[in-house]
Structure formats: C-alpha cells, structure tokens
Structure 1
Amino acid sequence: MGFGILLCLVPTVLAVDVVLLDTELEQDELNWLVTPANGWEETVAVDKNFNTMRTYRVCNVEGPNQDNWLRSAYIARGEAQMVYVTLRFTVRDCSSIVSVGGSCRETFALYYLETDSKGAPEASTAARMKAAYTKARDITAQHVFALSGRGKVNRATVPIGPLGKAGFHLAFRDRGACVNLLSVRVSYKKCPPTVANLARFPETPAGGSLTSLAIALGACVANAEEDSVPLKMYCTSEGDWVVPIGSCRCQAGYQSNEELTECAAMGDPLVQMSSERGPAQEASGPSSCSRLEGQLRANQQLLEEQAKALARLTQMVDALNVTLLTIWQSLHTLPRDHPPPAHGTSAPGADGGEGN
C-alpha cells in the first residue's frame, strides 16, 4: 500500500520505449547466421494486413539429435542496461506429425552473447555456439497448431540484463521443433524527463534488472533553490518514476504553481492578498500577515515530516530490493532441466500457416 502512495507523488508521465531491433519493419533480407546450414531458413511471410515480413523457420523433426542455431546480427546496446526481447512465433503440434517418435519438441531456447565489437568471431558449429552464448530462457508455446488447423500466434517477452558491453547478439536454439519465428523485437525502457518538488530530473535509462532502481540526480528549476537534499528520484525497470527525495523552494520574490513544477515572479504578497480577498480584509493587514506566516510555518513543518517519511520508505524499498534480488539470484541457480514457461501474452488468432 505504501508503494502505491509513493507512485501518486510523482507527476504522471509515460515511459519511453527505445527500440533497438524490430524485424517486422525490415524489408531486406536479414541474413542471420545459420548453423548447420540445413537448419533455420529465412522466409517471407504476409501478415493479416498484407504486409511482408522477414521470418525464420525450422522443422527438422524427423531426424534425431537436432541442434540448430540461428544468430542475429550485432545489436548496439546504446544506453540500455537491460533489454526486453519480444518474440512472436507459432509452433506445430507434435501429435499432428506422424512418424516422429520421441524426437519432436514444442519448445526452443533464447541465448545471447555480449561483445564490444561488431566483428566478433562467428561460431561455426553448434558446440561452439553453446559454449560461447548465455542461455536467457526456454521459450514454450501456449498455443500449438495442427497442419490442417489454424493456430494462434504466441508472444513471449524475455528480459536480458544487466548488460555492460557495447552490444550483443541474440541466438535461437532448436532441438527438434517445428517453429515459425515471425518477429523479434528488442527494446529498453527510459524514464522521461520530469519535474517534481520544484526539481528537474533528466531522462534516465532503467536499471540492469527487473528489481533494480536507477538513481537520477535532480537540479532545482529556474528561480528555485535547494530546500532539502539530496535531490534524487528512482527509475523502475518499466520506465516509471517513484520515490522523489529532497525538494527545492522558490527564491524570494517568486512563487510556485500548484503542481510544484515552476517558480513565477510575484508582486507584494499583502497587496496581492488584499486585491484577491476584497476591501473588507484590507484593514486587517497585520493579522493577515500573521496568518500567512503561520500557514507558511505549518506547510514547512509538513514538508519536513513528509521528507523524513519518504526517506524512511526509501530505506524500506532499498531493503526490499536487496531481498528480491537475492531471491531472484537464488532462483537462477536452480537446475534448468525443466524451466517454467516464458512469461508473455498471446495475441488473438492468426493463420497457422503464417510464415510457412
């Protein structure tokens, strides 16, 4: 409940989604690395809007001991510390394929390799690919289709991070499935520029994991000065701002707007109050001044109490992040012989023949 309150304290701004790769937008051949040569095959498919797409497929289900690899081109990381890889794909139902015995599968796997150079050595065999690349996740289909039926397009989104090198390659490993890889999209999140508590915060890339919070340092807006420090705010993995810490106040002769986003020049406060409240209150100038000073003191005390409360909540959030990260790391040390299904949402129906 407390975390939801913190979210309400931050101005509502949409996360920035930065796309590094989207094969749906590619018109030319992708020419990704395929090993062995009789494994994955690049094809051209047509979506429901009659737009052409560059896709890859593999369906070597009749032979045993399949180990087919598909490697993407180099993807520059940019400012990303973690990327989201979103896949659209269809998978053939093994029970609809005759004479395949126990060699048919309905899953494939996503791998990646970080590199500082576009000219990284190309692994020429499946064994070298397996040794060089890091496994991100097994991809399991929520929907499979028979040859004579219509299938739904599966969607899976896999986070990969933290990333530290200049770029990376993705790789897809097939062990005997009949898969159409319809699209691959790689993106990362940023928290957009924003202003909170009269402090301006820059556009900030999300952290390197789902549980990490990237710290952004702020600076007072024009005609404002620091009131409580440090000025910082946290950017979540989804590109949302949370937990503003510190604040600024308008300099003498300036006043803030209700949103606490800017300081504008003002005239004599008593004259302004008198003109707004009417002649009946002009004679009570000293008492108006006393009331104004009392309100300012009360507001200042309230702000200080809120700042202390936010500081305590920030410590609680940091402690929770450490605990979640420890649990996340522990889960990733468990045996991966039977990994859980990939998280994602499935798109509504699409022609099972898409990409075939």
Structure 2
Amino acid sequence: MAALQFSLRSKDNHTKARAGKITTDHGEILTPIFMPVGTVGSVKAVNQQQLKSIVAAQIILGNTYHLYLRPGTDVLEQAGGLHKFNGWDKPILTDSGGYQVFSLSGTRKIKEEGVIFQSHIDGSRHLFSPEKVMDIERSIGADIIMAFDECPPAGCEYIYAKKSMELTHRWLDRCVARVNETEGKYGYTQNLFPIVQGNTFKDLRTASAEYIASKNAVGNAIGGLSVGEPEDVMYEFTALCCDILPQAKPRYLMGVGTPWNILEGISLGVDMFDCVMPTRNGRNGMLFTSQGVINIKNKKWATDFSPIDDGFVCETSNYYSKAYLRHLFVSQELLGLQLASIHNLAFYLWLVGEARKHILEGDFASWKNEMVVRLKQRL
C-alpha cells in the first residue's frame, strides 16, 4: 500500500503540455489520459474485456450517487469493492456525486450539513454530507476518490458563486478530516482529490485554486467548467487554475469533453480527462474520427464500404465499414450502439496516446494545432 505517486517525464517547450505517470496500487496510468465513464460500474455498451483489449483504457470512473442507490454499499462491500464486483482490476476513480448537486437541481436541497437528494429511482430522500460521501467512496473502493463539492451553473450571479465556493471549501475540510480518521476497506490506498470551483469569476477561481493547492493533496481537480460556458471561457479558466495548482501533482479537468477540448486542455497543463461524450454521442450515431466528425445515420454513408476509421489502429474501427455501421443504426440493432461506443472510446484513448508521444518527441504544439482543425471538420 502506497499513496498515489506522480512523476513527470517530459514537458513541451511551446505549450504547458506534459507527459507523466501516475502510480496507484492497482497499476500505472500514463498521462495525459482519458478516463471512460462507467457511472453505475459499467461503461455503457462496452464490457471490461473490450475496455482492456480494444479501447486500451487504463482507468475508468464510477459515480458515488448512482452506485449508492444501485447496487448499494452493502452489495459492494460483500463483493469486496467495485473492482471485484465489476471485474476491473485496473485503477478506478469515483466522482463524489457533486455533479448531481448541479444536474438534479429540481430534486435536491443544499444545506450546510450537506445535500438532501430525492432518488430519481423511487423518490426516496437521502442526505449526502461530506462525511457520508467519504464513507460511501470508501465502500465503493476506488483508487482516487473525489471530494464532495457544489458545482454552480454557468452564468450564476457572483454572490451565489462565492457562497458556493466557500461551502465547497468547508466541505473539503470535512472530507479531509473524514478520510484521515478512516481507513480503506480492501487493503489498498484510496487517494483524495479536492476540486477547484469559483465559476467564471477570476478572483474566485484564483482563491479556490490557491485553497485547494494549500491542502497538499496527491492530485487536484478542476470542476465547474464545461457546464454551459463558451469554449474560450473554459480554456481561460482552465489555464488560470493550471497556473496555480502544483506542477508536481496531476491535474484533472472534470467532464471535458470533445477531442479538440482535450487537446487544448493538454496544452494548458491538464493531465486527466473524463466525459460521457464518446459513449453517449456514439449511441446517437455521432462518431469522432481521425479525419473529423461523422453522423453515421446520414444516407451518404449507405454505400461507403471503407472502414469506420483507418487513421489509427483499432480492430473495431478498421474491421467494420461505415455502410455496415449505418445499416445497424437504421435497423436499430444493438450492435450498432456497441461498435460506435467502442470506436469513439478507442479513438479518444488513441488521441491522448498520440498527444503523449508528440510531447515526448518535442513537436506537440504543431501537431496539436493541425489536429484541432482536422478533428472539428464535419464529414
């Protein structure tokens, strides 16, 4: 058992991009990295063997709110934690449920003590305090556990953003205390990441980043972005946070985003990303490819027998044709959802791997600028 370790191997000379390595008790993670989202312990439409062999995922996510409701901590503890329950033996990160404070605003009430939720499943009411969230995350058993925070909506008033940030900081102190007074349940280290908030106000973001940095955690997250603000604003505040958060610790930009968002985030100094976009958009027929964005449902692909994407090595993307994948969607065959999800995830993991390679080779900036233009094309 050892606390999470982070080592930097290389920094880009023309941007703030860096290549590093995170070491956890469940294995190593080469950064920059994209983390597939497995909200309820499952990455939708993709099984764990596919995540390993085709997608080449190094770490996946679970969500505290959803796993607490189903299957529940009793089941997870009896199984020996989420790793044993879902058969994933590599690192796992759990979101604390803070995003649900934002997304389920119609069925929750925020108090100093915590957040009272109304279950989206059966309407039952539950209190999530910072202490309870840490206990739940202990029971889930992730290698990286996120602090409980509030994520205010984009465009909120300054006074609300300030009060929310201060509440997040007080909750963080309670999270830290709870983690320090409890132990992991499964014989390996669980590492707490605090989260920067402050909405899109420079003084608040600066204050929050400085407060989070002062906690000397093994890693830090940037939250409250990609929630409706323009892309250039997201980049501006990502850069602000990265300039304050410690160089020697991994930085995680939560909930981001498109392939070009990820490349720009890497150039600003971010190491870790997650987003439901590759699987959610894939299930709706949107493919992110090495040449641009495809709506596979369009009739233009009906007789295109070329591979889904031959711009990178992937046994799914190189094997099946665009015409066949379109046929599956038009026919409402479940295999279409699976193939599109696998392709998008494999592409995202390939993309961050290429970014790492170009950082190490010293030509990341020129490669990134060329790729961003290409990836945004609508084919």
Q: Which has the higher contact order (CA 8 A, sep 6+)?
A: 1
Q: Please give the range of the TM-score, normalised by the shorter of the 2 chains.
A: under 0.3
Higher share of residues assigned strand? 1
Question: Whose Rg is larger?
Answer: 1
**Superposition TM-score, scaled by structure 2 size:** 0.21
Higher share of residues assigned helix? 2
**Superposition TM-score, scaled by structure 1 size:** 0.21
